[in-house]
Structure formats: structure tokens, C-alpha cells
Structure 1
Amino acid sequence: MWETILTAPFFGLLQLAVIDEDGEHPLVFPCRRTASGWKHAITGIPVNVRPTHWREWIEDGDAPQA
């Protein structure tokens, strides 16, 4: 289940999404929240998105469908 982005923790692997009138648009890679914004959890590269929702990252094969 998606949670509002305001409650996203500063630890763990998260899946981010933008949810709009067309539905859910989840990112396909794990992210981490940092004091300076969102980063790709594997590469550490900043992610330039304005997500609306988050959920725990689940490895491929176990991930819920958008």
C-alpha cells in the first residue's frame, strides 16, 4: 500500500511514485531519502523527482504491480 510522501523515513530502501489522475507511476529502482533530497539507493546519484507516495522496496519478482 502506498503511503503519503510526508511520512517517508530517512532509512531503508523505498519505492517512490507519482500518483495522478492517470494512476500510479512508480520508479523502477530503489531510493533513499536524505537531508538533501532523494537518491538512487544503489548508485547514490540524486534523483530529480517530486514523488507523492512511497512504499517499502521489494526485490524483483516479489514487487506488487502498479
Structure 2
Amino acid sequence: MSAPDKTGPGMGQWLPIQIAPDDCDLELGRLHKTGILPWTFPCRRRSGVWFNVWAGEAVLISPSYWRIWRSGRQQQTHILR
């Protein structure tokens, strides 16, 4: 599947995980009592398994939402650590 349009769905709004594209960097999130809690690393789905792009390891927590990962989030994550 080709990468999603950079101006279309997934750029800022959270979308259901069921429609997430394969093989592109995504920001994943999980429903929390205060809203959607985003993960702090980009993920990619391959053969039905989610992987942490930075660590190259499978993710064991099931996400419920996604949006396109933007490189600016990566820089913010490193500053917060």
C-alpha cells in the first residue's frame, strides 16, 4: 500500500485502528479516561504485527487509534526525555 496523503486523513485527527495503513510510520494511541493517550514512538504494522520503529521490536499493547507520525513529534519526544 502506498503512503497516505500528507494532507488527508490521519494528519491530525485520530482514526480507528481498523483502518490504519500498513508499512508507514504512524502515531498510535490508546483510549484513556482523559481522552486518547498517544504513544511516544512511531509504529509500523507488518504482517498484522505492530512494531516500534525506533527499537525494531514488536509492540505488545494493542492500540485503538492512529494518525500519521510527523517528524516534529520525534524532536519533541527527545526533548521531554
Larger Rg: 2
Return the TM-score normalized by structure 1: 0.81
Structure with greater proportional helix content: 2
Unmatched segments (≥5 aa) in structure 1:
none
- Listed one character per residue, the Cα deviations across residues 8-59 of structure 1 (whole Å, up to 9, x for unaligned) are 1112100000023321210010000121411011222001111110000011
Unmatched segments (≥5 aa) in structure 2:
1-12, 76-81
Identity between Structure 1 and Structure 2 (%): 32
Of 32, 46, 51, 1:39 maps to 51
Moved more, 16-25 or 50-59: 16-25
The answer to whether the aligner puts 1:28 opposite 2:40 as a matched pair is yes
Relative contact order, CA 8 A, sep 6+: which one is greater?
1
Root mean square deviation, CA, Å: 2.0
Alignment of 1:1-66 (within 5 A): 1-60=13-72
Runs of 4 or more off by more than 4 Å in structure 1? Answer: none
